[in-house]
Amino acid sequence: MSPIPIVLAGCGPVGRAYAELVAERGLRHGLDLRVVAVRGRDRQREAGEWGPLTDLPELLERTGARVFAQAVPSDGDGRAAREALQALSSGAHVVTATKSHLLTHWDELEAAAGTAGRSVRISGATGAAMPAGDLARSVLRGFDVEEIAGCVNGTATFVLDRLADGADLAGAVAEAQRAGIAEADPGNDLSGGDAATKFRLLSALLWGWNPAETRAETEPITGLPDVPAGHRLRQVARAARDEPGVVRVALTAEPETSALGGLRGPEKAVRYDCGEAGQVTVSGGRSSPRGAALAMIKDTLGAVLEATTGFR
Ligand SMILES: NC(=O)C1=CN([C@@H]2O[C@H](COP(=O)(O)OP(=O)(O)OC[C@H]3O[C@@H](n4cnc5c(N)ncnc54)[C@H](OP(=O)(O)O)[C@@H]3O)[C@@H](O)[C@H]2O)C=CC1
Ligand SMILES: N[C@@H](CC=O)C(=O)O
């Protein structure tokens, strides 16, 4: 069995969990996955030794990397985009939990992947271990999805439930951070920005919208307003095929018996309104560094085993 070399960018909680999972579960499905290099901000580890960062195309070529895995901050610094494009040009698939470059460089990445005949797999960026992206891109193809609605930020659901139980906002956010759900800077979790990002990406997979041109209207979590009996407040993202280029995130009271109102803690769900085919809902999937890393493992296997190109 020949090894599948992987170069990993990012050694925070998600990157570390991915490297551990490759070490634990790399020998699967007839493949021998191996992380051959890990890159940090300005350092790089190869053969167990840390040294200075080297040129990425040279590293990819020297190691024969088949996959470039990204788990670096979604802070919009141009490096994630540049390195993903370099990886595709070098003939590696890209598997990413990082979201920012998908928003800014969607078309460039799609074109580069098409030219190289490689895929860019983004499950880790669209809902961690919940396979919402897979449904959007391929499973529901042909159903002509008309509308999507969902709770895709685990922190928001967790915090709103804690507020309903009487906790204060700062304490609820700190608890979500200790559980590894909230980002170190929870601003995007609470503002609706992260949910909007995930819906911009799902809309791109579903309807071909360019995320860079998709506008987001968001409502932040600041406290807990009165909610009718039998309902729970949820941060709900929505997008509709007939209103292209707009994603809305609002706090709405959902019946406790519904798919969104019934979610607990950091669970997530997306409901796809498929017109004549009816509604299809996907829920669950862990929202945590390990959950995101598992999604990246799934995507790594998919990239290597399935001969697809472009976004998945
Ligand atoms: N936490 C979760 O549940 C989920 C997170 N995500 C996304 O996964 C990504 C990774 O998150 P997380 O593991 O928390 O890590 P961080 O976002 O905290 O990233 C930290 C790591 O990235 C490295 N780093 C920083 N800047 C760069 C850069 N420009 N290029 C390469 N490496 C860099 C750092 O290296 P050094 O150690 O050298 O400083 C550090 O190891 C984020 O984009 C996040 O939004 C997605 C889904 C779920
Ligand atoms: N902070 C996010 C995790 C990654 O996307 C969340 O709460 O869902």
Ligand 1 within 6 A of CB of 193:
no
pLDDT at 25: 79
pTM: 0.95
The minimum-distance atom of ligand 1 relative to the CA of 42 is 38
Residues of the chain whose pLDDT is less than 70? none
Measured from the CB, is residue 126 less than 6 Å from ligand 2? no
Q: Whose CA is nearest to atom 35 of ligand 1?
A: 40
Looking at all shown ligands, the one closest to residue 193's CA atom is: 2
The tokens of 228 are what?
């009718």
**Domains, in order of start, for the chain:** 3-128+290-311 (3.40.50.720), 132-285 (3.30.360.10)
| Closest approach atom of ligand 2 to CA 125 | 5
* Of 152, 155, 161, 290, best ligand 2 pocket probe by most atoms within 8 Å of the beta carbon: 155
Nearest CA to ligand 1 atom 20: 12
Taking CA atoms only, the protein residue closest to ligand 1 atom 38 is: 40
Tens digit of pLDDT for each residue in 144-183? Answer: 899 999 999 999 999 999 999 999 999 999 999 998 889 8
Q: Give pLDDT tens digits for 224-275.
A: 888 999 999 999 999 999 999 999 999 999 999 999 999 988 889 999 999 9
Q: Quick check: CB of 11 below 6 Å from ligand 1?
A: yes
Q: What is the C-alpha to C-alpha distance for residues 266 and 309, in angstroms, rounded to an integer?
A: 32
Report pLDDT for 30: 80
